[in-house]
A and B are shown apart, each in its own frame.
Chain A
């Protein structure tokens, strides 16, 4: 009981630190060693079938691996890697998921690792939240809420800072 309270206290203090947790999607999800923050997706076009999901995984413990994800909003949630080789974008599904080394932070962000929501029947709308279950090899399932932001490209001024190297 006391450890839970201690963890809660740590989380509460972390949330109060200036410059963090200013909006809902900055809340850290998960318990134990793996916590998730900044989970977001983007509004989809009315006819689009796929959406991307991005998040930051903080691992305070031993090595783990993100092996899967699921959501009621998509037929499947796949783990993908996007790589740019010269001018060519290569997209592939990661059969073995994404390794999360001990005491590390792994980012799924535009231009790199991401979740791919396939066969989405109701396209994501800005302002919605998506309930997603991330599945880790050791930590097990972690429920995360993804905040849906504007369309891809709509936040142009920031795009230059995203990882498109």
Chain B
């Protein structure tokens, strides 16, 4: 082993460089969608009481949010923003459909969903139905939802807050994290879905 100081410095610099590079790659791709294709069959109903299945995620781009109506903060904020994105995109955004898939189907009946989603926009469809079918959709998109009981006998839901951008091919094209800047979100929707 030669004790060349330049080699030592070069090796150290290379090592640091590679570590940083791997780190940057990791952080770049960590939050990227896994280009998931949705392959789960399910049978649910929309807020008008009509049957819906896995075909709603194909044939047109869509914005999908997993939330619930007993949600004081994140869900109304996100749906308000979705309505804003659709308004802002105007005619360009017409092919986009948007869905609120409830993670709380026990309380969110089609009627309640209808009153809720239409308060934001006439372009958001509520999806509810049997809890086990909802679980299939949530798992199919690798989202997360869990019931948290309260001491008072009620419960809250923990759930994924990202807005899912799904392409017409039925693949996940991107995620808009909660609290995103609206301009950034809109350009993300344009580049991913339109």
Contacts and interface: CB of A to CB of B under 8 A. Distances in A.
Interface of A: 45-52, 76, 78, 80, 82, 84, 87-93, 95, 110-111, 114, 116-118, 151-154, 156, 159-160, 162, 164
Contacts of A51: 72
Q: Give 8 nearest A-B pairs by CB, closest first.
A: A153-B80, A47-B115, A52-B72, A153-B77, A164-B179, A91-B156, A93-B150, A90-B158
A84 B156 CA distance: 14
B74 A89 contact: yes
B81 A153 contact: yes
Contacts of A110: 73
A82 B76 CA distance: 15
Contact of B175 (A45, A50, A87, A114): A87
Interface stretch (B2-10, B94-102, B128-136, B159-167): B159-167
Interface of B: 69-74, 76-81, 84, 112, 115-116, 119-120, 144, 148, 150-152, 154, 156-162, 175, 177-179, 181-182
28 contacts: A46-B115, A46-B119, A47-B116, A47-B119, A52-B72, A82-B73, A82-B74, A84-B178, A87-B162, A88-B158, A88-B159, A89-B158, A89-B159, A89-B178, A92-B156, A93-B148, A93-B150, A93-B151, A93-B152, A114-B73, A152-B72, A153-B77, A153-B81, A156-B81, A156-B182, A159-B179, A160-B181, A164-B179
